[in-house]
Chains A and B, each alone.
Chain A
Amino acid sequence: MSNQDWANANPERLYVISGGRDRKSATAGFDLVTLVVARARPEPTMQPEHAAILRICGSPLSVAEISAYLRLPNSLVTVLLADLLAERRIEVRAPVPPAALPDLSLLEAVIHGLQRL
C-alpha cells in the first residue's frame, strides 16, 4: 500500500480538508468512474485541494483517478468535487446508470474496442 499517509497519520487533516462535513452525504451522485472536466482555472485564493483538482482535470478524469493522483480517499474527493460542481467550476459526466442488464450497443462497443487492443 503506497498512500496511507493521509488517513493513518492525521485524521484531523481530512476533517479540515472536508470542512468537517459529513462525507457520506456528499458522496451521493459520484461514482468511482464519474468523469470530471475542469471548467475554470485554479485560483490562488482557493483551497489547495480544489485548485489541484482543476489543475489535473483539463482532460476528463474519473473520480478514482483524481483520488489516486491527489492521494486522498475517494469519499473525500467527492466532497471536494461537490463543492466545485456547486460553483460550476467542473463539469461531470455520469456513468451509465446502473441497470439490471447493460445495453447491447454499449457492450458491442466495448467488445470492438477490446478487439483492437
Chain B
Amino acid sequence: MDFNGSEPRGPREAELLPATVATAVKVVVVGGFGVGKTTLVGAVSEIRPLTTEETMTEAGVGIDDLAGVERKNSTTVAMDFGRITISDELVLYVFGTPGQERFWFLWNGLFEGALGAVVLVDTRRLEVSFDVLGRLEDRGVPFVVALNAFPESPRYPVEELRAALDLPHHVPIVHCDARSRESSRDVLMALMRYLYDLAAQPAAAAQPVG
C-alpha cells in the first residue's frame, strides 16, 4: 500500500470475524487458466475476494526478470482467496491460484497444513489438469475433482472422465457451476466428506487401486 498519507485499507465492518475465532483452516482450489477458480472462490466467500501476493526468487523460476533486480530472477505469484466463517471458533479460507501452474508448488506453505484441494476442470481442456493432478498425488494432498459446467462444455459420463484423467476410484468427481454459491458450496462439502471418509478409514486411501 501507499503510506503517503492515505488511510490503510482494511476489512469493512460487516467483514469482521468474531473475536472468539480461534482456529483457521484452508483449502486450495487449483486448475488451469480460465477454468473458474476465482469465480468459485467469489461464489462461496463471505468477504470480497482478496488477493495476496508473493515474490518467487528460486533459481529455476528463471523467467520474467524484473528490471532493477540484479541479484536473482524473481517473479510475482498472486492468489485470490475468500473466507467462510464456520462457527464462532472456526473459519475456513479458500485459496484459488492463478493460471501459472508451475508456481503453485513453490509458494511455501500453501499446501502445507491445507485440509485438501479442489481440482477445477474444464472438460473441453482436460489436458491442462494432468500436471496438477500428478503433483497433488506426489505430494499426498487429498483432492476432489470438480467439473465446471460451461455452457458449451461436453458432459461426459463421470467414469469416462475418470479413465481419461487416470483417477483412482476413490477420488470423488462432482459436477458444478462455479458461478453458483450453492453449487460451489457443494464442491467444498464433497471435499470435506471425502476427507472425513479418509480420516475415518485411513486404509481406504492407501489401498492400491486398479
Contacts and interface: CB of A to CB of B under 8 A. Distances in A.
Question: Interface range on chain A: under 10, 10 to 19, 20 to 34, or 35 or more?
Answer: 35 or more
Interface of B: 1-3, 8-11, 16-19, 21-26, 44, 50-55, 66, 68-69, 74, 76, 78-79, 81, 83-87, 90-93, 95, 108-110, 112-113, 115, 181, 185, 188-189, 192-193, 195-196, 198-200, 202
Contact of A11 (B18, B44, B66, B90): B66
Nearest to A11: B69
State the main secondary structure of chain B at its contact with A. mixed
B51 A68 contact: yes
A34 B76 contact: no
B90 A49 contact: no
Interface string A37-74: 10000000000110010011011111011011111111
Nearest to A113: B86
Interface string A1-18: 111111110010000000
30 contacts: A1-B78, A3-B51, A4-B53, A7-B55, A7-B74, A11-B69, A27-B109, A31-B26, A33-B24, A56-B10, A56-B11, A59-B16, A59-B18, A61-B11, A61-B17, A68-B81, A70-B8, A73-B53, A74-B52, A74-B54, A75-B55, A95-B26, A101-B199, A104-B200, A109-B86, A109-B87, A113-B85, A113-B92, A115-B189, A117-B44
